[in-house]
Structure 1
């Protein structure tokens, strides 16, 4: 693209932005609307448009800006489909405005796209993909650290709270940490708390059964707690058999059973009597 056309794009930026923004307002996806306020959407789109225009004059200098914008739209939850859409719509609006003002010929669209829009689109999408991959990996690590630890609560009784979706990779990590924790803490009873697991399907149930069986093989007992009504209904509908394992709707009920298995129970204490007897 020649410099004259680039200058024309910059000089007509306000009109281009307003017309482009109007198109996006009609087509932005529900996820984008839910995650971002109108003010944030406006600021992000203005930064996005500014990046597109400035790239006409110095592509190499704008590499850092491309990465920053890509990181921002990933953080805000823009889908790759939406990103591609706004780039293509920006190109269409630029072309229409310049043609209407007779600043370019109607046959110049190919040059406009091949020398400017296409390279910028590839750069933005590549940086988006890199940012998305980094974000997903960080979230995966954080989730693994959060939800795969065996916590000793009292002597011989430990709890493993599970949070988020359980896939095959996480199930393997959970099983390894579970067995290591049982041996390390000498747990006689382990409570697997699935309160934070949003969905229990056949695969998740299979992983839970494997974990409970493994605990039993090394001489301990396992209680699956956090069985919510909707999960119980799903388990029954799928025909999953958990009858060999003790289950409970809440962690409290599970703890009561764990105490019973370890020959203990919760006893109420009169605070005044306890204080007087120790004075």
Structure 2
């Protein structure tokens, strides 16, 4: 076999199964890691396919057409980074696994060199430089995409948390319930003011029952934000009813001189809905 970049590519690709086998022998992640010796068969199968893909991507840099490697690199980084984020694999574990991959591929290239006596020093240096520079590009591209997918996952989780923290639940064609649970800080209060009126309009709700029984503690800030919400809702034609007021909260409202105006209040959501059902003809959602 002639001593060319193409010959390195062909040799490594032929050795890919044994390179991957060596990688599996060396890798030894912590318990619970996808790189552990006790990983599930499905994970092992995934790693085997992706490791072969990694070898193909790296060694394609030895082909004459640079665009082939650039394309392979982009596709590899997207696929592998997305997979690791979805599996919840810490980035340091992936980088350690890639470091082992770097070594086992280079071991194969060294074997190719040993099989060919008197390889010129200049050619050895060229291959070494190309390989390690290529692997650095691979690692950098992976970490960039891993960061991007991690941020994407984080923002998706934040959006879900926000949706769950302000749940407007339609119970009839025009009536909805806003069950507030947990603590309400300034950030969540702002979120409530911004999203609840919009959700009510989207759902066609014209009467919203705001249930406070799940709130762990209510302070003056919460009460003032609640009054703002009720006022905003009234401006867009949506009536409000408050339920879940504890005696302490009622006492606080009186002490602070906060006026609830004509907003009905009930001790429980059940009482509020029962009263509404008795005095109006409403049909539950089917």
Q: Does 1:18 align with 2:21?
A: yes
Aligned position for 2:70: 60
* TM-score normalized by the length of structure 1: 0.59
After superposition, residues 26-175 of structure 1 pair within 5 angstroms as 26-28=28-30, 30=32, 32=34, 38-55=40-57, 56-57=59-60, 58-62=68-72, 63-99=74-110, 102=114, 111=129, 114-151=132-169, 153=171, 158-160=177-179, 172-175=190-193
Please name the residue that 1:197 is paired with.
Answer: none
Q: 2:245 touches 2:268 (CA, 8 Å); kept in 1?
A: no
Matches within 5 A, 1:252-263: 257-260=268-271
SS in 2 for 1:27: coil
Q: What is the Cα deviation at residue 87 of structure 1?
A: 0.9
Which of the residues 188, 211, 215 maps onto 1:190? 211
Match of 1:276 in 2: none
Identify unmatched segments of 5+ residues in structure 1. Answer: 195-199, 226-241, 247-254, 268-279
Residues 216 and 115 of structure 1, relative CA distance in 2, 3 Å threshold: closer
User: Do 2:178 and 2:208's aligned partners in 1 also have CA atoms closer than 8 Å?
Assistant: no
Tell me: CA distance 1:221–1:167, structure 2 relative to 1, closer, same or farther (3 Å).
Answer: closer
* Matched residues, number: 230
Per the alignment, do residues 135 and 142 of structure 1 end up closer, same or farther by CA in structure 2, a change over 3 Å counting? Answer: same
CA RMSD of aligned residues (A): 4.8
Quick check: which has more Rg, 1 or 2? 2
8 A contact 1:256–1:265 mirrored in 2: no
Which residue number in structure 1 is paired with residue 263 of structure 2? none
- Structure 2 unaligned residues grouped into runs of 5+: 61-67, 232-240, 252-265, 279-286
Q: Partner residue of 1:273?
A: none
TM-score between the two structures when normalised by the length of structure 2: 0.58
Per mean C-alpha deviation after superposition, the further-off stretch among 183-192 and 258-267 is 258-267
Cα deviation code 1:94-140 (max 9, x no counterpart): 234544673599x8696365332111111222222222333333333
